[in-house]
């Protein structure tokens, strides 16, 4: 297990993750330099009175998982599978501290379309909401599985795998179960709609 920033070796994924998240001096220096560069770019934009995005938005599925704290990881792994997935989506895509991941907004529960930010051209697109929810669940399930290495105990890893197999089976064979999960994501997007719209407005994106 090697740190992706400084190449230091670790005995477990959890120790490596904690080091990368909290202690790696190389990462801290990189983060400092990135922040400094971003601030300079923003100052240049302000000086030139150029209207453009302040931050770089992440495409759905490309969000950085290192924004997850150790407490977030524990909550995700210790929750029922449905809560685990919804909490993961909330932390990744509807987190006030990470506006770079604000790419989805449901502003009307009576509308069958959802607003999605195209991160290539920074335009808001209206897409069928259930198609988007299907994509979100597919992507996020695979991303949560990437965290399996954080579980050191083999028995717990097996339980983790079994829970996701059961969930995926329910999603494919039980339409009401699938709709209930879609509705949970739908409600989350609606609850946080003002935060998402503020992020878009602050980045000169026409809503």
User: What is the model's pLDDT at position 145?
Assistant: 82
Q: Does pLDDT of 182 surpass 60? A: yes
DSSP character string of 41-77 = HHHHHHHHT----SSPPPPTT---GGG--HHHHHHHH
DSSP-derived secondary structure letter, 192 = T
Provide the token pair at 99: 């506006």
In this prediction, residue 151 has a pLDDT band, given cuts at 50, 70 and 90, of low
pLDDT digits (tens, 9 = 90+) for 26-79: 777 777 666 656 655 555 555 555 455 688 999 998 998 888 888 888 888 788
User: What is the model's pLDDT at position 54?
Assistant: 80
User: Which segments within the chain are labelled E, that is strand?
Assistant: 104-105, 113-118, 123-128
Q: In whole angstroms, what is the distance from residue 79 CA to residue 40 CA?
A: 42
Contact 126, 84 (CB under 8 A): no
Q: Are strands 113-118 and 123-128 parallel, antiparallel or unpaired?
A: antiparallel
What does pTM read for this prediction? Answer: 0.73
Residues 6+ apart with CB under 8 A from 145: 164
Q: Does pLDDT of 148 surpass 80? A: no
Beta bridge partners of 127: 114
């Amino acid at each position: 297990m090697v740190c992706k920033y400084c190449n230091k070796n670790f005995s477990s994924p959890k120790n490596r993750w904690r080091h990368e998240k909290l202690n790696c001096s190389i990462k801290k220096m990189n983060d400092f330099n990135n922040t400094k560069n971003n601030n300079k770019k923003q100052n240049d934009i302000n000086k030139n009175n150029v209207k453009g995005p302040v931050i770089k938005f992440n495409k759905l599925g490309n969000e950085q998982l290192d924004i997850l704290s150790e407490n977030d990881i524990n909550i995700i792994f210790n929750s029922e599978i449905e809560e685990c997935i919804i909490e993961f989506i909330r932390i990744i895509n509807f987190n006030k501290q990470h506006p770079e991941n604000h790419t989805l907004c449901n502003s009307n529960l009576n509308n069958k379309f959802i607003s999605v930010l195209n991160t290539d051209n920074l335009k808001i697109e209206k897409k069928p909401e259930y198609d988007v929810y299907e994509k979100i669940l597919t992507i996020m399930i695979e991303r949560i599985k990437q965290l399996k290495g954080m579980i050191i105990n083999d028995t717990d890893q097996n339980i983790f795998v079994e829970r996701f197999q059961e969930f995926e089976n329910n999603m494919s064979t039980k339409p009401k179960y699938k709709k209930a999960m879609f509705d949970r994501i739908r409600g989350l997007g609606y609850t946080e709609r003002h935060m998402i719209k503020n992020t878009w407005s602050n980045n000169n994106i026409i809503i």
